[in-house]
Chain A
Amino acid sequence: MRAPLSWLQDFAPIEADVDALVDALDDLGLIVEGVERVGTGLDQVVVSRVLEISPIAGADRIRRVVVDPGGEPVEIVCGAFNFDVDDLVPLATVGTVLPNGMEIGRRRLRGVTSNGMLCSGRELGLSDDGEGLLVLTGTDGAAPGVPLAEALGIRPDVVFDLTVEGNRPDAWCMAGVARDLAARFKLPFALPEVELEAAGPPVETLASAVVEAPGLCPRLTVRVLDSVVVGPSPRWMARRLVLAGMRPINNVVDASNYVMLELGQPTHPYDLDRLGAPGLLVRRAHPGEVVRTLDGVDRVLGVPGRGLGETGEDCVICDADGQPVGIGGIFGGASSEIAETTTRVLLETAAFDPMAIARTSKRLALRTEASARFERGVDPFGIDRAAERVCQLVVASAPGARVAAGVLDVRGDLPSPVRITLGAHQVNRLLGTELSASEVAELLGPIGFRCTPAGGDRIVVVVPTNRPDVRPEPHGVADLAEEVARLYGYSRIERRRPTWATPGGLSTYQAERRRVREVLVGLGADEVWTSSLVDERDEDRLGVRIPPVRITNPMAADQAALRRTQMGGLLRALAWNRDRRQGDLRLFEVGVVFWPPDPSQPPTRAGSEGGAGVHLPVERELVSAVFAADGDDAAVALSALHALAEELRVADLRLRPQADGAALPGLHPSRSAVVRSGRDGPVVGTVGELDPAVVAEFGAASGRVGWLELDLRTFLHRDLVSRRPEVARPVSRYPSADVDVALSVDDAIPADLVADALRGAGGELLESVTLFDVFRGPGVGPGRRSLAFRLRFCAADRTLTDAEVGELRARCVAAAEDEVGASLR
């Protein structure tokens, strides 16, 4: 909202300097987005009469103009062509600094001296018109030598651009802003006096008012004016509207807009003679009813839209015959608009149900100055003053106009004023202040909350009807506390650091998730963050087979689904960097992927009624990594898995290739494996390599790309995945002995099962089993390979003898032969 200071001063003698006002407004919760100084820089601009216009040789875009600024004639070079001899135009004399900062100097152009500048409205900061000069011919009070500001009645002013929060409908007008400022500066505040002479015939004889939908329109008033002459508004009013950001239209429409800006109450004027039948009828729209609004668009009403709470109820304003002439509280109709020919005006001033306005406005995507105010809540008892004020302004601008006697006033259930018994202790309990009841009353009184002592530290507060945001008790106590805090000043409230006995901390999961990141960073991987909103076709191309969770209202087709995997984002990230010739690309992301809801899980509460609830999508938190540096492959990804397991003490992870080669989306079928906890434990993730076809399709890399993904909620879950005990084991003081065994084993037997067999047989004396060589080829036989293990034996209490080691070795080999069909080479 744009609020000119001069307008605010109508209500209170506000005199503080601009910086102090900005601080006060901010501190009152009326956020100052900008401050504009207008009407300055005009001190040395005078009205002048054009005496002579002549061309300049060799120039066709500029002319020599001689003007009379009320003294000696002055020679000017001018590039505008929208005036003639004898016109009155503004002259900025030499030395003037215009509002836009331009300094006027004496210049010589094509042999002609320019002793000043003739100005356009834009150059003077008075209008947007920069096409030609601001021609003043015909303006009252304009004569050569008269200062321009005086001729136009312009005083320097300051316009505050304010944002008013949704809970402050009362402050969304000049009077409301002034009321808050007056309270802050302890100044008297008064609304404009309205004295109306109702000289016309009784309003009942001219129009009718009927409300069939009092739920949607709890109050409707109708006033009528006749003998109205429609024409331009008085200059002061037009100027204020322009400063406030509205376009002047005619004296009737402008009066309505002016009052909306001044008091916050929208009103709507109709041409009474263009209504099908004189009067208004307010009803619910019939299902599918079409109303053509002022902007010429046909609006379909009465049809419920999507979403919760949508009833499809719309309020239409009709003429007395029930023909729609507008959408109540939102937009007028084209058929009964005020025109130059209008002589009789019907003025509708009403209150509408805020929620109904909000629903209709949202569904029709039709937000107007009026709807924005009604949906926040307009004072149903401010209607009378607003209607009278419009009538007063119309009469003032159209001498001879008469106001019909009386008001048609249809009232439904109007809220009665909220009364709250408030204890100062309740305020202090929320704010941490130590205010007394009388101090609270002194803060609330000036903004219209009537407070009377109620014994002890209590007062009874009557909430003004322009404050629909203040709820009844008990919640209203908090609302009043906010008002107290606001007027007291948030900055004056003490700052206290609360303390409590319980320590802060991360959960084990959260702490370990951080360690996962650190391990990957230590392995040379950069952490990325890719969007959760993806193109589902990208993931289909990876072979993801679970259906996606789709977005009802996506912003773009390639962001219309929730990601089911992080692989797509990582592939795109690789491609992005590869395209920019970046190397050493190892990337990882920790994030959530979404799978369709699982009906076997308990539903989640969906709305206030409770009901059956809804099954939310399944969210899985994953760490996913791609290894695409030179020479990276599945083995690198595997070593990353080992590093993670080592860091987190995760014991006994097992790798199992998928029997069905295509089961792992996007992965190389014979260089990838699922990762399980133990031989039969839960799957915790996948490791291996990306399918070369997928890598090529995304342009992600030229060579192999290693892949690792872990479901963190499983991987880090101590009940699902076992950890190495955190109990210290003594280290042997005696030397260990290494023996190597090369075993020929069938290709179908994973090497870890061979190691298991060796370990089982070696028992406590077997300190470690390390695979150090794999060989396929001559001498091993088809379908088999040689696995070379180094067995390290060590005892805690002695040095093992050669004989003992030899026996242990034999026992291990025998176990491998028995359990996995190995044969010693």
Chain B
Amino acid sequence: MAGSGASDPNRTLGDLDALAAAAARTIEQASTTAELERAETATLGRRSPLAEARRALGSLDPEARREAGRRLNDLWSSLEALVARSRAELARQERVAALVADRLDLTEVVLATVRSPLRRGHRHLVSTTRDALEDVFVAMGFQVAEGPEAETDWYNFEALNIPPAHPARGMYDSFYLEVGEPETVVLRTHTSPVQIRLMEAAVAADSIPIHAVIPGRCYRRDTADASHLPVFHQVEGLVVDEGITFADLAGTIETFTTAYFGPKVHARLRPSYFPFTEPSAEYDITCTLCLGAGCRTCSGTGWLELGGCGMVDPAVFAAVGIDPEVWSGFAFGFGIDRCAQMRHQVADMRSLLESDVRFLRQF
């Protein structure tokens, strides 16, 4: 019979709008995720009026069925989106409510009731090594200086007599930062930029002499392996004073080597090259494992390479405005991590960076 029941396309479409509006109200009224679950079942579940309407589409003539079908699908997906939005919002609200319910006013914590631990923690091996080295140098009359880890090309390279594109830059594969013009800001590859800062400041304040050691974190683009880390620690020393000679440098290296590693460990200096020192030297220390007898660790030589040093190059003095006719100076540097590795026979340097308490609690 025409115009009656589900076979009337207009009526069906009108019903759909009303059904959808009702469904949306039901969903929006849900104020908890549990209520929302129920609302979703009621409005979009198998027994919901809209599901009924979808089943009823089959009885329409093809033309009407197509139009009503499209319409129904649109409504259906917008209701699903509404459910998703409501769910996210309710979850957020419930999370916030839970966090609020969990509230603790830190001003009213009764400290006497806080459990106090009986276990003592452990300092990191690198940090205790740094302190121990600082203490040795402090006892020798050095101040401890620090500076930024991100540096300009000037401080990290150029003032140290390493101009742009200088082949010596190959010795220091650098991380560049996306700051300023390309390749003007680097993560310092050594703590030497602090030497420049110290000298500049001393010139500005007319406060030479300088006797300082500079510990700190450095960065080089080296693949991590048992004896290298891209993030590592170094300590450098700088002395600028009247009458400072290579003999003073050699004596200083020997003194701190023996003071830190013990009376059986000595240093030797070999000629080397660094753009910022002249004459330059590398220094080895008595192998800490075999005490010079020769073993696998030192490749049978009895010596382990520790660091580099030399007399401050006149070009570096020129860059900071120190008169090399009046002042002379020396600088030296070596790895703190490497020191720790040598003294404590750490097989793989990467364990310093792993934060594994089974390693850390040994020291």
Contacts and interface: CB of A to CB of B under 8 A. Distances in A.
Interface of A: 26-29, 31, 165-168, 306-310, 354-355, 358-359, 362, 375-376, 428-433, 471, 474-475, 477-479, 481-482, 485-486, 490-491, 493-500, 502-507, 510, 514, 517, 520-533, 549-555, 559, 562, 569, 572-573, 576-577, 580, 582, 584-588, 590-592, 594, 597, 604-608, 613-617, 619, 629, 631, 633-636, 638-639, 642, 655, 657, 661, 668-673, 687-689, 691-693, 747, 750-753, 770-774, 785, 787
B248 to A, nearest CB: 4
B206 interface: no
A668 B155 CA distance: 42
Nearest to B122: A526
> What is the size category of the interface that chain B forms with chain A?
35 or more
A307 B153 CA distance: 10
Contact of A671 (B106, B179, B358): B106
Contacts of B182: 306-307, 552
B120 to A, nearest CB: 6
17 contacts: A27-B270, A29-B273, A165-B272, A432-B246, A474-B314, A478-B311, A490-B250, A502-B209, A552-B177, A552-B178, A576-B354, A604-B152, A638-B114, A639-B116, A661-B100, A774-B108, A774-B110
A598 B65 CA distance: 65
B357 interface: yes
A616 B239 CA distance: 27
Given A482-B278, A497-B255, A505-B138, A527 B183 contact: no
A309 B165 contact: yes
A572 B353 CA distance: 12
Interface stretch (B52-60, B78-86, B123-131): B123-131
Interface string B87-125: 000000001100110111111111111111111111110
Contacts of A355: 163, 165-166
B260 interface: no
A479 B314 CA distance: 10
Contact of A607 (B96, B184, B273, B357): B184
Nearest to A617: B150
B3 interface: no
B105 A751 contact: yes
A529 B124 contact: yes
Given A26-B270, A631-B115, A358 B166 contact: yes
Contacts of A586: 117, 121
Contacts of A573: 355
Contacts of B109: 634-635, 638-639
A638 B102 contact: no
Nearest to A473: B314
A616 B124 CA distance: 29
Given A528-B124, A555-B223, A376 B152 contact: no
Nearest to B250: A495
A608 B119 CA distance: 54
Interface stretch (B14-22, B26-34, B66-74, B141-149): B141-149
A625 B144 CA distance: 25
Contacts of A785: 108
B124 A615 contact: no
B361 interface: yes
Contact of B254 (A167, A495, A657): A495
Which of A507, A551, A687, A787 is the most central at the interface, judged by chain B CB atoms within 10 Å of its CB?
Answer: A551
B138 A504 contact: yes
Interface in B172-209: 175-185, 187, 209
Given A496-B251, A606-B185, A616-B148, 19 more contacts: A28-B271, A29-B271, A309-B163, A362-B165, A362-B170, A431-B247, A432-B245, A496-B245, A496-B250, A497-B140, A510-B134, A529-B355, A549-B178, A577-B355, A591-B217, A606-B153, A606-B184, A614-B180, A671-B103
B279 A772 contact: no
A605 B154 contact: yes
A753 B103 CA distance: 19
Given A475-B315, A517-B123, A585-B357, A553 B221 contact: yes
B247 A493 contact: yes
A475 B314 contact: yes
A604 B200 CA distance: 13
Nearest to A165: B273
B225 interface: no
Interface string B29-55: 000000000000000000000000000
B137 interface: yes
Given A577-B357, A614-B185, A430 B103 contact: no
Contacts of A572: 355
B153 to A, nearest CB: 6
A430 B246 contact: yes
A47 to B, nearest CB: 36
Pairs A-B, 4 closest by C-beta atoms: A29-B271, A432-B247, A309-B164, A432-B245
Interface in B252-282: 252, 254-255, 268-273, 278-282
B140 to A, nearest CB: 6
A78 B268 CA distance: 52
B151 interface: yes
B155 to A, nearest CB: 7
Which of A433, A552, A771, A787 is the most central at the interface, judged by chain B CB atoms within 10 Å of its CB?
Answer: A552
A630 to B, nearest CB: 9
Contacts of B324: 474
Nearest to B157: A308
Nearest to A672: B106
A429 B326 CA distance: 11
A359 to B, nearest CB: 4
A28 B282 CA distance: 12
B168 A166 contact: yes
Contacts of A474: 314, 324
Contacts of A482: 271, 278-280
Nearest to B330: A498
A359 B278 contact: no
B342 interface: no
Given A533-B230, A604-B152, A670-B99, A521 B180 contact: no
Contacts of A591: 217
Contact of A504 (B140, B163, B251): B140
A308 B183 contact: yes
A554 B175 CA distance: 7
Contact of A606 (B111, B167, B180, B357): B180
A491 B163 contact: no
A492 to B, nearest CB: 10
A616 B151 contact: yes
A490 B270 contact: yes
A592 B217 contact: yes
Contacts of B143: 504-505, 507
A166 to B, nearest CB: 5
B172 to A, nearest CB: 12
B13 interface: no
A637 to B, nearest CB: 9
Nearest to A521: B121
Which of A430, A608, A772, A774 is the most central at the interface, judged by chain B CB atoms within 10 Å of its CB?
Answer: A430
Contact of A486 (B102, B105, B119, B279): B279
A584 B120 CA distance: 10
B241 A500 contact: yes
A500 B151 CA distance: 31
B328 interface: yes
Given A500-B211, A550-B178, A693-B95, A532 B217 contact: yes
B138 A478 contact: no
Given A521-B120, A573-B355, A506 B138 contact: yes
Nearest to A576: B355
Contact of A638 (B111, B181, B231, B273): B111
A494 B123 CA distance: 39
B352 interface: yes
A617 B179 contact: yes
Nearest to B136: A504
B287 to A, nearest CB: 15
